[in-house]
Amino acid sequence: MARGGRLRYQFRRMQGATNDGVTVAQRCHAFDGWVMRRVGAARRSWLTRLIVPYTIAGTIGLPWLLAGAAVDQAQRVVVVAAVAALLTSIVKRVARRDRPDHLPLLVRPLRSSSFPSGHAASAAAAMCALLIVAPGLAPVWIAMTLAMALSRVYVGVHYPTDVLAGAGLGVLVALVPVILAAT
C-alpha cells in the first residue's frame, strides 16, 4: 500500500470507519434495529405480564434492595446501584440519544436520553456487589441482571447498545472500589 493510501486508511479508522466505509455508529444502529425487530416479533402476552412489573420495580431499585437485604448487604448494594444511576444520568445529559421508536411502548414514555441504560447500569453494579458478598448465589444475581437489562429492550425504551453500555458502566462503578482497595 502506498504511503498516501496508508494515511487515508488510518484517518478513516480514526473517524470510526471500517474497511468497507461503514462507521461503527452505523453498524451499531443497524444492530440495534435488527434486534428491536426480533424483540417485537418475540413479544408474548404471558412474557409481558412478567417483564413489565419487573422493569418497573427496577425503576426504584426494588429488586436490588430486596436481594441485598436477603444477604444482609442492603446498604452496600443500594449505594453501588445509586452511584451507577447517578453516573448514568450524567452520561445521558451528554449523550442525548433519542429513545427507540421501533416498538410500541409497554411502559410510560420516558423523557430522559436513551444512552446508556440506567436500569442496566444499576443492575450490573448491584450484581457485582452481590457477587462479592454472596458468590454462592451467582446464578440468581446474573439471571436478575440479565432479566433487567433485556427487559428494557423488550418494553421498547432502550436500544440493545444502550443496555450494553449501561451494563459496562455499572460493572466499572462496582469494580473501581475493589481495584482501589487491592492496590
| Higher per-residue confidence, 10 vs 80 | 80
pLDDT at 8: 44
Residue 124: pLDDT band (50, 70, 90) is very high
Cβ atoms of 149 and 122 closer than 8 Å: no
Question: How sure is the predictor about 19, in pLDDT bands with cuts at 50, 70 and 90?
Answer: low
Question: In degrees rounded to 5, what are phi and psi of residue 63?
Answer: -60, -35
Enter the C-alpha cell of residue 68.
441485598
Structure confidence by residue, pLDDT tens digits, 33-90: 899 899 989 999 999 999 999 999 999 999 999 999 999 999 989 999 999 999 999 9
| pLDDT, average across residues 152-167 | 94
| Cα–Cα distance for residue pair 119/164, rounded to 1 Å | 11
pTM for this prediction: 0.82
User: Comparing 24-28, 65-69, 130-134, which segment has the lowest mean pLDDT?
Assistant: 24-28
Question: What is the grid cell recorded at 142?
Answer: 446474573
For the beta carbon of residue 92, count every other beta carbon within 10 angstroms: 19
Residues with Cβ within 8 Å of 154's Cβ and at least 6 positions away in sequence, in order, are 39, 43, 47, 48, 51, 55, 106
**CA separation, residue 17 to residues 95, 107, 171 (Å):** 20, 36, 28
